[in-house]
Amino acid sequence: MMKGRDIIIFLAIKYEGDWNRIYQAIKEKEHVQEEEVHHALARVRSHVLTIIDDDYPESLKKIYKPPFVLFYYGNVQLLHMGSRSLAMIGSRKASPYGLKMTQQITQALIEEGIIVVSGLARGIDTMAHQATLDAHGKTIAVLGSGIDRCYPEENTTLYKTLCQDHLVVSEYPHNTEPHKEHFPWRNRIIAGLAQAVFVAEAKKRSGTLITVGYALYLGKDVYVLPHLASTDNSTNRLIKDGAILVESAQDIVEHMLGQHEQKGSTSTTENHEKKFI
C-alpha cells in the first residue's frame, strides 16, 4: 500500500516542484498508479524531506506556501539552526565594493558561529558561500533549479563541495530547468531558513528586494550595507525606510544576539514593514 509521503514526493516529481500544481493534485485527490510512484521514487538520487515528516523545519511551515518537498544533499541538521543563521543576498552583477565587503563581513560572521544562507547565484551569493568555506564555516545553498542541476554552471565545483560538506536544497527535482520564475519563488525559502537577512547590494526591481519582502512578511530583521548615492542601488532606500545600517559584521552580531535574548520584544522590522511593501 502506498504511503502518503511517497505520493507527495511523486507529485513533486511529476509537476517538477510547481507548488500550485502539486497543491491542486492533492486537493483533487488525483489518482496515481502504485507502480508509477515506485518507478519515480527509484530515480531520485538525492535525499528527500516532506512537509509531513517530523524533522521538516518549523521555520518553513511559516512561510508563504511552504514547499511540499525539499530535495537535498548534505547535512540536513543545518536546517534547524535558524537562530544562528543569516541570509546573505545581493546583486548577480555585484560591484567590487559589494564583493569585498561581503567577503569581509562573511568571514567575520563565521568566527561568531553564524551559518550563511544564500542562493548559489553569481555575484554576492557566490562570494558569501565561498567566503564561508574559506573561513571554515557552514553554509546552506537554496537552488532555483533541480537539485541535481548546478546553476550557474561555473559554480559546479562550489556546488559539489556544498553537497558534500554543507547543505544544498531545492524544491525542484532531478535536473529541472532553472526557469526565471523559480528564482523569486525560491527566495521565500531563503528568507524562511534564516533568522535575519543581510543585503550587500540591490539593484532596483531585483530578486534581492523580493527576498527582503518575504523576510519582512515573516517579521525578520533586515541588515543593509550602504552604498554611494550616485550608484544604481536600492540599499540606501532600504535604510531610509527602516532597515539596519551595517558597517561591519559586529553590527549584525550584536543586534542578532540582542534580539535573540529579548524574547517577546518587538522586532525592528515590524515597526517599518509597511514602508517596504
- Report which secondary-structure segment, H or E, holds 245: strand 244-245
Confidence (pLDDT) at 275: 35
Angle at 128 between CA 58 and CA 70, to 5 degrees: 35
Q: What is the CATH number of domain 78-276?
A: 3.40.50.450
pLDDT tens for the chain, 277 residues long, are 679 999 999 999 999 999 999 999 999 999 999 999 999 999 999 999 999 999 999 999 999 999 999 999 999 999 998 789 999 999 999 999 999 999 999 999 999 999 999 999 999 999 999 999 999 999 999 999 999 999 999 999 999 999 999 999 999 999 999 999 999 999 999 999 999 999 999 887 788 999 999 999 999 999 999 998 888 789 999 999 999 999 999 999 999 877 655 544 444 434 333 333 3
Confidence (pLDDT) at 271: 39
Domain ranges of the chain: 4-76, 78-276
Nearest to 200 by CA among 223, 172, 230, 167: 223
Written as nine digits, the cell of 267 is 522586532
Confidence (pLDDT) at 260: 57
The torsion angles phi and psi of 217, rounded to 5 degrees, stand at -60, -35
**Bridging pattern class, strands 139-142 and 167-170:** parallel
